[in-house]
Amino acid sequence: MNIAGMPLYEYVYMRCSQIEYVDEVILATSIDKSDDPLSKAASDNGFRVFRGSLNNVLERYILCAREAGADVIIRVCGDSPFVDIQRMGQMLNFLLNKRFEYVALLKERCLDGLDSEIVTLSALEKSLALADHNDDFEHVTHFIRRNPKSFKHKLVDIALNPFNDVISLTVDTDADLSFCNDIANGLAQAMGVDQFKFTSEDVFRVISKFIRQEYS
């Protein structure tokens, strides 16, 4: 599964490496045999990989953070090549300065694939201790979102959806991959050597260009 001439995981990894204030990027995958090829490819490529539970993803994140000595975690899904790293840097600075436990973009205001979240290790450990639903273990911040009053949190309301939800920027199907590959190639042409430093506004400009071409 390639995008802009490289594996999708590599594109997302390189994108995350541009986030301001981040010390390290880690690919956190499972110990299931189905993830062996991904783990080997990433390791052979020089990327740090952590492997944990297939179903208890919450625990996987906690153990990964502990091994890395991280007390704050930025969570980025591997199917989201265009996640807004500029906003994440701002959100991380906000979380650290205001001593929040959880900061996330308001999903209802974001295109799928642009939203992101930042959480402290202590908040994840608290979630694991109190979790009482399967979804709490499968989805890393599900417990926090179900129990917002139990955590010092902030949902950041930034408009990142100029296309009224008709566009998704996650890679779930072959059609998604083709669309996102076209965007990534357009960004590479526009950004040159800085192809991973684009903003959401750069993404919107490329998409708008496609729309104009389609209807011209």
User: If you average pLDDT over residues 106-115, what whole number do you get?
Assistant: 90
Instruction: Say whether 52 sits in a helix, a strand or coil.
Output: strand
The per-residue pLDDT for range 193-206, each reduced to its tens digit, is 788 989 999 999 99
pTM above 0.85, yes or no: yes
- Residue 201: count of CB within 10 angstroms of its CB: 11
For the chain, the structural domain boundaries read 2-215
- pLDDT band of residue 165 (cuts 50, 70, 90) is low
- Residue 99: count of CB within 10 angstroms of its CB: 8
Q: Which residues does 214 contact at the CB level (< 8 Å), separation at least 6?
A: none
CB 215 within 8 A of CB 31: no
The second-level CATH assignment, the architecture, of 2-215 is Alpha-Beta Complex (3.90)
CB 30 within 8 A of CB 60: yes
Give the C-alpha separation, 128 to 123, whole Å: 9
Give the C-alpha separation, 168 to 111, whole Å: 6
Q: What is the DSSP letter of 185?
A: H
What is the pLDDT, as a whole number, of residue 192?
A: 84
Give the C-alpha separation, 150 to 144, whole Å: 8
The per-residue pLDDT for range 27-72, each reduced to its tens digit, is 999 999 999 999 999 999 999 999 999 999 999 999 999 999 999 9
Mean pLDDT, the chain, rounded, equals 92
Is residue 216 over pLDDT 70?
Answer: no
User: Tokens in use for 216?
Assistant: 């011209």
- pLDDT band of residue 214 (cuts 50, 70, 90) is low
